[in-house]
Structure 1
C-alpha cells in the first residue's frame, strides 16, 4: 500500500494550527474517530464551556447579550419560532434515508429548494433567520442560499439531529478535543503504514485503468512518476478529485457530481494569550456574531491546552470569509482583536501570537470544511458519490453516512472503501458481518 499526499504534511487540515492548541475534534457519539483515538492510545479532554457565552445579532448597534444555556436569551416570540422550527427539522430528519437520500419521502420536493428558501417560508422572525444563517456559516462555511434543503437534512440526520451540529455539550460535534492536537492521528497512522509508504508533496494528476490494473501518475519535485496497483482509493474532496485526469473518463453521473459540489469558505484563526483572562472574568470563550454586525468572525471557542496555554480559536466563514478574505492579513487581525476587546474586555488586545489560515487559498484544500450539494443534485446524482468506478473507489468525509463532514465521517468512509476493495480483491478474507 502507498499513500500519496499532495500537501507537505499528512493531515493538511489540522497542521500547523493543531500545534498551537488542540482543535475541535468530536464527541462520544462519533464512534469511528473515538475508536481510532483509543486504538492509537491518544487522550482526549472536554471542550471548555463553563461560563457566560456572548451573543451579538441585529446590526452593529444591537445589544451584546450573554447567556449560559445552550440557547441564547431570545424573546418569547423568537423562542416559539425556534421551537417550531426545530420540531419540523427533527421530524424531517427522521424521514431521511442517509445512505440514499433520493429515496427519502418527498425527496424531489425537498431537493428543489435551498435552505434559505425553506426558512423564508417556515420561519417568521428576522432574528431567527439571522441565527440560522450564522449556523449555516459555522457548520458549512456556506450561506443558506447555496445548498439544497435535502442536503441540509441529510447532513443533520447523519449527526443525529440539528442540535448536535451546533452545540459543544455532551454528544455534540465539539464535545472533545485530542490532547496534543489532531495531527497526531495522521502521524500515528503514517508510522503504522510505514513512513516509506507515505509520499508527501506528491500530487496525483491522473488515474488510468483497465481490466487488471489502475495506474496512478503523480507529480513530485517537478518530475512525474507512475505506479501500478490493483485498486486506487480517492479520499480527497470532490472539488479536488475533479482536478484529476481519468482514463477512461468517469461515468457521466459521477463526473457531473464531482464538478458540481462546491466547498465551503472558512478562515480559521487561533490567538494565544499569557492567561485565559476570559475564564477569570466568567466567560466560556464562546462568541457568536451575525454578519450584520461589524464583527468579522461568526464564532469562537476556548482553545486552551490541557497544560494551560491560553488560546481562542475562531472562524470567519461564508459571506464574511468572502468579504474579509480579500483584505490584508493585518486588517483581519486588527478587526478580530477589536471585536474580542468589545466582547471580552481590553485584555484581549494583549495577545502573544495570532495565526490564521485561509483554506480557500491552499492549493490542495481549496476551502473547508465540506463540499455541499445545490438543489437537484442529491435526488439524481447522490448514488454515484460512493459507487466504485472500475478500480477506482471513493472515500472522504463527504461520502460518510455517519457524521458526514467531520473526521469521524472520514474514518468511517475510509473503512468502508477499504472493505469494498478487500471484497473485490480477497472476498474469502472477510467475515460475514463485514
Structure 2
C-alpha cells in the first residue's frame, strides 16, 4: 500500500511541471560550454534565492544548495550538470520542428543537461516547500563542465568537506521510452581509457618503398591484432568496447611518411578487463613495431581506471521502491549498461549512489536521436517523472534506517584523480 508521501509526490511534480519545462527551455535557448556557464549559474542561483535555499558557488566547480529538513538526520547529495556541448544543433528532430532551439551556433544542449538542471530545481522547489517530509539534509550539487571534466574536482572536494551519506543523479536517455525509469543495481556506465600514439618509421619516395619503413604498414598490422584481441585475449563474459577515433599521416601522394599518429578509447564495465586490455594493447604495439622495424611514442598512454558508474544494491532497492511508489510499477525499466562514461563515478567513490536513467524517447514526436547528435531532442513529458522520482528517493533515503553496505575509497581526492589518469582535472 502506498504511503501518503508516495501518493503526493507525482502530484507535486505535476503541479510544478510548467516551472520545470520553463527552466529547461530557458537554459536550452542560452547554452554555455564547460567552465563558461556564467548565465546558467546566474539562473540557478536566482531560482535558489527565490525558493529561500541557501547556496554557495564553488569556483570552477559549480553550485551547492542546502535544504535542511525539520528533523535531524542523514545527508543526501542530489546532482545535476550545467554545461552544453560546443556544437550547432538542427532546428528539427527526427520528424518535426523542435519546441526550443539554441540561440547560438557555438553551443547546444544535445545531451540533456538542461533537463537535468531543470529537474533538480523542480525537486528543490518541492523539497523546500515540504521540509516536514525531509528528515535530514539535502545538498543540491550543480556541476560545471561535466562533458570535459572541468568542474568535478573542485565540486567533489567541497562536497567531501561538507560530508554526505549518499548521492543521487539522473541522466535522460534517448533510447528509453518516455514513462520508463531504470534504477537497477550494478554497473550503469563504463570506465574508460584513451590512447594517443605516434608510430615512427623511415620516410622515402613512393617509387622505392623498399628503401623506407612505412608506419602505415605497421599500423594496419597493429590494428588487425587489436581487433583480434577481443577473441584471443579478453574475457567474452565481461563487456568491453574499443575503437580508433583519429588517424593522421602523410603530406603528399608520392612520399612515404616518417610517422603516423592514431588515437582512440576503450570502455569497459569490469576493472580487471580494462587493466588486461590496456596491458595487451601495449604488448601488441611493442611486438608489432619491433616486427616492422618501427618505434612508437605515447602521447597518451593507455591506463586503466576504476571509475565505473555502478548503482549500490541497497540504494537501488530504495530507488526501485521510490519509482514504483511515486510513478508506478509500470515505470520500472531494465536496460543494459550505457558504454559511455560519466563523472558521476567520482561521487560514487565516496558516497553510495544511484544513477537513474529517465526515458525521453517518443517516436511519434520524432524524439529518439542519440545524445551529442544534432537531432537530439527531449520529450518534456518525462521531466515531471524525473522530479517525482528524485523527491521520492530523497524521502526514502533519508527515512531509511537500515545499514547501507558501502566502503568509501581510502584515497584522497587528488590521488584518486591522478592514479586514474585524470591529473589534468586537478584544480586548485
Give the TM-score normalised by the residue count of structure 1: 0.26
Higher strand content, 1 or 2: 2
Q: Which protein has the larger Cα radius of gyration, Structure 1 or Structure 2?
A: 2
Give the TM-score normalised by the residue count of structure 2: 0.26
